[in-house]
Structure 1
Amino acid sequence: MRALPTVLLLLVSCVLALPVLALVGSWAQWDAQTAGILREMSATVLPEYLWVTVQLVVMVGIGVVAMGVPAAVLVTVFEFRGRRTFEWLLLLPLAMPAYVTAYAYTDFLQFSGPLQSWLRATFGLEGRLLPDVRSVWGAAWVFSFSLYPYVYLLARTALAERAPQLMEAARLLGAPLSRRLREVALPMARPAVAAGTALALMEVLADYGVSVYFGIQTFTAGIYKAWLSMDNRIAAAQLATVLLVLVMGLLWLEQRAQRRLRFASSATARASSGEARPITLRGARGALAWVLCLLPVLMGFALPVAFMLRPLSADWSVLPWDRFLVWTWNSVRLGTTTAVLAVLAAWFLAYSLRRAPTLLRRGAVQVVSLGYAVPGAVIVVGLLLPVGWLQVRWPDSGVGALVTVTVWGLIWAYLVRFVSVALQSMQSGYARLPRSLDESARMLGATGVELAARVHWPLLRRAAFAAGLLVFVDVMKELPATIVLRPFNTDTLAVVANQLARDERLGEAALPSLALVLVGLVPVVLLSRTLRSERRSVDAELL
């Protein structure tokens, strides 16, 4: 009986890690056809895939740093009109899926869009007046304004802890403002900036909607072509392992940067910041700070929403309201089911690790935690490999039909991708529970199940709710796994928005796109409330 929890833990971990393990195992199935396809792709299209992906990664990396770092420095080190409002406004682009932002900018900036049409009509010009937004630079633009909050949020957290008092100490030593920023604030934020940039670039590598809609040849697009166009799952899986290695490299960089985020957070350190007040900016400097904070919010949230509202309000009669309810129900049903299962799985994994943190259990949990860093396209390929292998050997088992014809295959892919999100929240909840609760419950004769259900769960409800909410929102926005694995007549808001946008029916695509934005606003609002409550607690401590 004592070995039963360990066996269940390993079973759950294997189910959730199976797609990644299948990708690694695909190299054992090397054959002449696969070798020929990979050789041909290496000589023709793979260099372009790699070059475009590298271009995109470099441009987005520069873009998120150029917007996230100044915004974080301004709202933590300086005081100017509207600073407290910008603290949460700068988080709003997190609610916008990148592919929705791409649809909005394409509708407004394309040749037949309102901007170029107005320019031609007003100034009597002809032809294309702006570069084509459906390009690598256009994708970099979209990703930069959609993902800079990762850098902003982590850099702001790192700077808010100790930057004011250290900047004040440097001022007392005679350092000018430019030197204080260059030699105090920026080095302090460097690990956070590296971690936030790595997270943003992982999202870029995992993207499917923007690259396919813009027609740019990224590595993810190459995986789908090897799989769907050339009908070779093994070649697609082996290409996916290359992308997996790149993602693991970025994950290692992010974790290494996170380990370097070590700042004093004691009450004494916080109280000492009471002597250091933010630097007040007035006049032209205050206006410049206001513009630098407003620009990312406008480009990443306000303007895309306005661009989507324009075709939505132009002709309400073309909107498919009856089908919209069906798409919403499918999205909500999949999101709710996945969120409940993810919270239960994360609760079991976190409880198992708390009960006996052995090396085996820690390794199993770490393997499961890798799922969020794996792109949805990679998970789909890794998921269908073992399913196809079982279907070939046992055609009457029904495994293939269960995964590809019902929603359970899609939910499985969602769990592989997003259970780590719930796991982080549940582990954070357990970290706040003292071990004395467990010892007291055991002294009163509580078993393992009773301890988890009657002692831990009432104290973990808020963490579980937050975990379920985050998973629900991520499932609602997930595109590549849903496109491939959804059963017939199970279109979701994300899939329909992508299909309508690719058919140039942007007026109809605006409705499901804006619904996704509204859903994405929920965790952003909760995050901003958490940050405000933390600031109030620090202010109260200083008083």
Structure 2
Amino acid sequence: MKRTYLPDGWTTLLIAICAFVTGPIAVVLYHLLLPGDDHWAHMSEHVLGRLIGNTVFLTLGVLSGTALLGVGLAWLVAAFDFPGRAWFRWAMILPFAFPTYVLGYVWIDILDVAGPVQGLLADLLGEKPAWFPNPQSGGGLMFVMTLAFYPYVFMLARGAFEQQGRRALEVARVFGYTPGRAFFKVVLPMARPWIASGLLLAGMETLSDFGTVSIFNYDTFTTAIYKAWFGFFSLETAAQLASMLVLATLGLLLLEKYFQHRKRFYQVSQSDRQMAPFRLHGWRGWALSGLFATVLALGFGFPLLHLLYWLAQTLSTELRGDYWEWLGHTLFLGFLAALLLGVTATLLAYAPRLKRHRWMGGLVALATMGYALPGSVLAVGVYIPLVWLDDRLYTWITTHTRWEPQTLINGTVIIVLAAYLVRFLAVAYQPIQSAMQRIRPNMDESARSLGYSRLAILRRIHLPLLRNGLLTACLIVIIDVMKEMPITLMTRPFGWDTLAVRIFELTSEGHYERAALPASMLVLTGLIPVAMLMWVGNREKDDGARQVAADHE
């Protein structure tokens, strides 16, 4: 007798989440099946090769830079004690507060011919240096994106290194490994799932970025999509280019799943939770402090000072009451999206533990691909089906009732939040999934043997252990949503502006100095969730220290 598989409630929930999230992606991928128009034929023959080369070159460069900077700084702050370590341990994520496009146009002005750097060199050398590189180049773009995205890798890698404890290094030394070899052979492989999560976020952020690459005049798939859509009014060509980005991201996800196959690392000893850093004395400790201070100055300090310099020149003429309303809209969307995405990502990370089917892992991978879609294309992918649903609901309501609603879905923040759900689910999922990997499967099995339901296991066992990962995910979502520009610009209700929309309006007209006010407000507001991220990390560290002390007692 042939058995039929009937999905349970959790499997049905996972399928429903994935169906909702992948619907806009399916709308985009559907255009691969359609014949291209004349503009697509011209682009594929003359432009596509250059776009692929530029996109691959930029992505590999940013991934290399974020891996080197993020992993290197994370290991140094986890393994060594030096002056200022307690502060640098969390201050290094301050670049999170800067929107990448703001960081880009600020650094262009700093390094430009008329900027302060070349002006200082001219004063010292007597003339403008001819050897100074062009800041608006591929190298300058990689520099800015590395400074903007390395906190993804740093934050996750630092937590992984600190959670490994001393025992792994001690075992490696027993087998005769030098400290350097122990790092590459033992420590780094054990931290690879968390490092890979950070690199995936940085890579997808690079693939989907539009604002920064357009400021640097560096053609990638995203700039080509915008030109096809708004310059040539060819939505078909834009969607076909976007589908290639989706396939590229799927390839990255499948490649990482392949290398992580059957490799899971669980924390097996509570008493060995924290790594004891090695104290550096003298010039070595101060040199390390100088390294961290330099990176932090480049990614946060210098750009903030330059932005505040612009702000001082324009504040008296720019500040008006509208800015407080735009700030309120920005915070409202950030917190509402964090709540929605925190719940959804937790369910998405928990459901595959209940049913270990390979196809469920594929659904999760597909559901987190929206991060690679350009915001504007994703906005259209969400907008089309939801407006269709809005029309059907309106027809049904007016036919069967006497109520004639003014708005249902279209013209509300529902479309904005739906697009955020697709766009930022990977951002919320990765920290929660990284925390979920530390929970041993036998804990679930033991709870089931005691009669706990699956919902009770999630509520009473997983959520307390996922507390820091869940809070980290929500805070990162708040930061990213406040900085997001294309989705908000295209799907917001009429007249419902945010700080990011105001920045776009001013920078698109070349008013960089006037954009300093909304940019400064956005950066300073973003410092609040960044500070909370620091607090979460410090609390996690204190909890670990208390647990170690309790275990030793």
Secondary structure of 1:507's aligned partner: coil
* 2:503 counterpart letter in structure 1: A
Could you tell me how far 1:388 is from its partner in structure 2? Answer: 8.8
CA spacing shift, 1:391–1:194, aligned 2, 3 Å: closer
Distance 1:231 1:281 in 2: 60
* 2:23 counterpart letter in structure 1: L
Counterpart in the other structure of 1:216: 218
Contact 2:32 2:243 in 1 (8 A): no
Counterpart in the other structure of 2:152: 150
Comparing 182-191 and 156-165, the one that deviates more: 182-191
Secondary structure of 1:508's aligned partner: coil
Ranges in structure 2 where 5+ consecutive residues have no aligned partner: 1-6, 399-406
Ranges in structure 1 where 5+ consecutive residues have no aligned partner: 443-447
Contact 1:202 1:250 in 2 (8 A): no
Picking from 19, 23, 35, the partner of 2:24 is: 19
Secondary structure of 1:248's aligned partner: helix
After TM superposition, list the pairs within 5 Å mapping 1:124-135 onto structure 2: 124-126=126-128, 130-135=132-137
Counterpart in the other structure of 2:370: 371
Distance 1:343 1:181 in 2: 34
Contact 1:154 1:192 in 2 (8 A): yes
Cα deviation, 1:30-67, whole Å, max 9, x if unaligned, reads: 2xxx2422220022222221121122112212211221
* 2:233 counterpart letter in structure 1: D
Could you tell me how far 1:241 is from its partner in structure 2? Answer: 0.9
Distance 2:174 2:337 in 1: 55
Counterpart in the other structure of 1:200: 202
CA spacing shift, 1:381–1:240, aligned 2, 3 Å: farther
Could you tell me how far 1:502 is from its partner in structure 2? Answer: 3.8
CA spacing shift, 1:241–1:123, aligned 2, 3 Å: same
After TM superposition, list the pairs within 5 Å mapping 1:73-222 onto structure 2: 73-120=75-122, 123-126=125-128, 130-162=132-164, 164-171=166-173, 176-190=178-192, 192-222=194-224
CA spacing shift, 1:310–1:265, aligned 2, 3 Å: same
Could you tell me how far 1:188 is from its partner in structure 2? Answer: 4.5
- Is residue 417 from structure 1 mapped to residue 423 from structure 2 by the alignment? yes
Contact 2:334 2:478 in 1 (8 A): yes
Distance 2:16 2:163 in 1: 42
Counterpart in the other structure of 1:301: 300
* 1:472 counterpart letter in structure 2: I
Contact 1:402 1:408 in 2 (8 A): no
Could you tell me how far 1:291 is from its partner in structure 2? Answer: 2.6
Distance 1:499 1:154 in 2: 35
Distance 2:88 2:177 in 1: 28
Secondary structure of 1:130's aligned partner: coil
Distance 1:351 1:261 in 2: 18
Contact 1:57 1:201 in 2 (8 A): yes
Comparing 62-71 and 341-350, the one that deviates more: 341-350
Larger helix percent: 1
TM-score, normalization: structure 1? 0.80
* 1:527 counterpart letter in structure 2: L
Distance 1:211 1:262 in 2: 37
Secondary structure of 2:83's aligned partner: coil
Could you tell me how far 1:482 is from its partner in structure 2? Answer: 2.2
Contact 1:94 1:149 in 2 (8 A): yes
* 2:222 counterpart letter in structure 1: T
Contact 1:194 1:253 in 2 (8 A): no
CA spacing shift, 1:333–1:523, aligned 2, 3 Å: closer
Distance 2:175 2:474 in 1: 50
Could you tell me how far 1:490 is from its partner in structure 2? Answer: 2.8
Counterpart in the other structure of 1:445: none
Comparing 62-71 and 532-541, the one that deviates more: 532-541
After TM superposition, list the pairs within 5 Å mapping 1:92-491 onto structure 2: 92-120=94-122, 123-126=125-128, 130-162=132-164, 164-171=166-173, 176-190=178-192, 192-255=194-257, 262-263=264-265, 265-267=267-269, 270=272, 277-342=276-341, 367-384=366-383, 386=385, 406-419=412-425, 469-491=475-497
* 2:283 counterpart letter in structure 1: A
CA spacing shift, 1:47–1:287, aligned 2, 3 Å: same
Distance 1:309 1:236 in 2: 38
Comparing 72-81 and 461-470, the one that deviates more: 461-470
Counterpart in the other structure of 1:57: 59
CA RMSD of aligned residues (A): 4.5
Secondary structure of 2:245's aligned partner: helix
Distance 1:218 1:502 in 2: 19
Cα deviation, 1:446-505, whole Å, max 9, x if unaligned, reads: xx9xx99x9999989978876655443332111222233334423321122233234332
* 2:282 counterpart letter in structure 1: G
CA spacing shift, 1:297–1:22, aligned 2, 3 Å: same
TM-score, normalization: structure 2? 0.79
Picking from 33, 37, 44, the partner of 1:28 is: 33
CA spacing shift, 1:420–1:205, aligned 2, 3 Å: closer
Distance 2:388 2:423 in 1: 22
- Is residue 492 from structure 1 mapped to residue 498 from structure 2 by the alignment? yes
Percent of paired sites with the same residue: 34
* 1:299 counterpart letter in structure 2: L
Secondary structure of 2:515's aligned partner: helix
Secondary structure of 1:159's aligned partner: helix
Contact 1:473 1:519 in 2 (8 A): no
Counterpart in the other structure of 2:531: 525
* 2:418 counterpart letter in structure 1: W
Distance 2:372 2:44 in 1: 26
CA spacing shift, 1:238–1:112, aligned 2, 3 Å: same
Contact 2:370 2:426 in 1 (8 A): yes
Contact 1:107 1:506 in 2 (8 A): no
Distance 1:227 1:179 in 2: 51
Comparing 75-84 and 191-200, the one that deviates more: 191-200
Comparing 504-513 and 216-225, the one that deviates more: 504-513
Contact 1:312 1:507 in 2 (8 A): yes
Counterpart in the other structure of 1:508: 514
Comparing 12-21 and 257-266, the one that deviates more: 257-266
Cα deviation, 1:197-254, whole Å, max 9, x if unaligned, reads: 3321111111111011222101111112222222122221111111111112223344
- Is residue 71 from structure 1 mapped to residue 73 from structure 2 by the alignment? yes
CA spacing shift, 1:325–1:217, aligned 2, 3 Å: same
Contact 1:478 1:494 in 2 (8 A): yes
Could you tell me how far 1:143 is from its partner in structure 2? Answer: 0.8
Counterpart in the other structure of 2:404: none
Comparing 106-115 and 175-184, the one that deviates more: 175-184
Could you tell me how far 1:8 is from its partner in structure 2? Answer: 7.7
Contact 1:98 1:210 in 2 (8 A): yes
Contact 2:201 2:427 in 1 (8 A): no
Cα deviation, 1:413-470, whole Å, max 9, x if unaligned, reads: 12222345556788879x899967996799xxxxx9xx99x99999899788766554
Distance 2:361 2:117 in 1: 55
Contact 1:134 1:215 in 2 (8 A): yes
Distance 1:228 1:278 in 2: 54
